[in-house]
Amino acid sequence: MKYIFDVISKKSSKLTTQTYSTSFSLGIRVFRKKYHNPIYSIYGFVRFADEIVDSFHGFDKVKLFEKFERDTWESIEDGISMNPILNSFQWVVNKYSIDHELIKLFLRSMEMDLEQKVHDDNSFKKYILGSAEVVGLMCLKVFVEGDEKRYEELRPSAMSLGSAFQKVNFLRDLNADKNQLGRSYFPDLNVLQLNEESKAKIIEDIEADFKHAYTGIKELPKGARFGVYVAYIYYLSLLRKIKRTHSSEILKKRVRIPNREKYGLLLSSAFKHAFNLL
């Protein structure tokens, strides 16, 4: 029965999320259960696309990506794929009527990573939109469960949150992106000449995104609010740690939040959620 294959597909997306990201897994675990599989399925899809362009060195990435894209659209149209990750993703897309334009924008951003190594202001905004902001919108589609009015109201803050997450990742991964992948995402920034002034300018921009995102988090459906807030707090804490880390050190090592601190953030977030202090 297809039901069994669908169960396997959703479990594959969950395993992908748990294996690649402890922080996102932590946030998803505290969502209301009905949101678990849909969000795991979205994460599994975006993670696999990202892995093609970032990790599969020694293989024909262009060929692999083109096949992944073809298979994505076929799975959505057919309502099935023998790729478990795409099978669970098409289920989410079709169940929650996720706008296909969001998927197109995401795939175009991933495609940029195959060729573009340095970004100007225009390409940076385009990349952030496709790689992060639209992912926030896909998740928002799940959370509002067909309430288009609420979706439109929360759309700007969801985009800001996705933008903030991605920019924190870029800042944290400056060293790896430059030395392993040859990329530089922030416009007008010579990564090797990062200093406290240029770091502060980037952080100020990210803090503005977080501030705007928080207004929307408070308005999310209750079953999603806590989980999104946990992710928000984790990334905000990561940004604050980067802020305290000298720019020379950021270019040498990847700033991390230890697991014990992650669980501490979870507990403090749970307290605030329980007493409506978010």
**Structural contact between residues 109 and 124, judged by C-beta atoms closer than 8 angstroms:** no
From residue 264, give the alpha-carbon distance in Å to each of 24, 174, 183, 261, 271. Answer: 15, 27, 34, 5, 11
* pLDDT at 267 exceeding the cut of 70: no
Confidence band for 201, pLDDT divided at 50, 70 and 90: very high
Please enumerate in sequence order all residues whose Cβ is within 8 A of that of 125, keeping only pairs 6 or more positions apart, or say none: none
Confidence band for 241, pLDDT divided at 50, 70 and 90: very high
Structural domain of 183:
2-274
How many C-beta atoms lie closer than 10 Å to residue 165's C-beta? 26
Please, what is the average pLDDT of the chain?
92
Region 87-103: mean pLDDT is 98
* pLDDT at 179 exceeding the cut of 90: no
Confidence band for 175, pLDDT divided at 50, 70 and 90: confident
Region 117-128: mean pLDDT is 94
pLDDT of residue 65: 98
Q: What is the pLDDT of residues 97-115, one digit of tens each?
A: 999 999 999 999 999 999 9
**pTM check: above 0.75:** yes
Alpha carbons 202 and 41: distance in angstroms, whole number: 31
Alpha carbons 144 and 57: distance in angstroms, whole number: 39
The number of distinct structural domains making up the chain is 1
From residue 102, give the alpha-carbon distance in Å to each of 193, 229, 231, 256, 257. Answer: 35, 23, 22, 30, 31
Confidence band for 276, pLDDT divided at 50, 70 and 90: low
Phi first, then psi: give them for residue 31, nearest 5 degrees.
-70, 160
**pLDDT above 70: percentage of residues in the chain:** 94
What is the rounded end-to-end Cα distance, in angstroms, of the chain? 44
Q: What is the pLDDT of residues 57-86, one digit of tens each?
A: 999 999 999 999 999 999 999 999 999 999
pLDDT of residue 25: 83
pLDDT of residue 53: 96
The b-or-e profile of 79-95 (16+ CB within 10 A means b, else e) is: ebbebbbbbbbbbbbee
User: Residue 240's domain is classified under what CATH number?
Assistant: 1.10.600.10
**pLDDT above 90: percentage of residues in the chain:** 74
* pLDDT at 269 exceeding the cut of 70: no
* pLDDT at 263 exceeding the cut of 70: no
Half-sphere exposure of 229 (CA within 13 A, CB side): 27
Confidence band for 275, pLDDT divided at 50, 70 and 90: very low
**Structural contact between residues 46 and 85, judged by C-beta atoms closer than 8 angstroms:** no
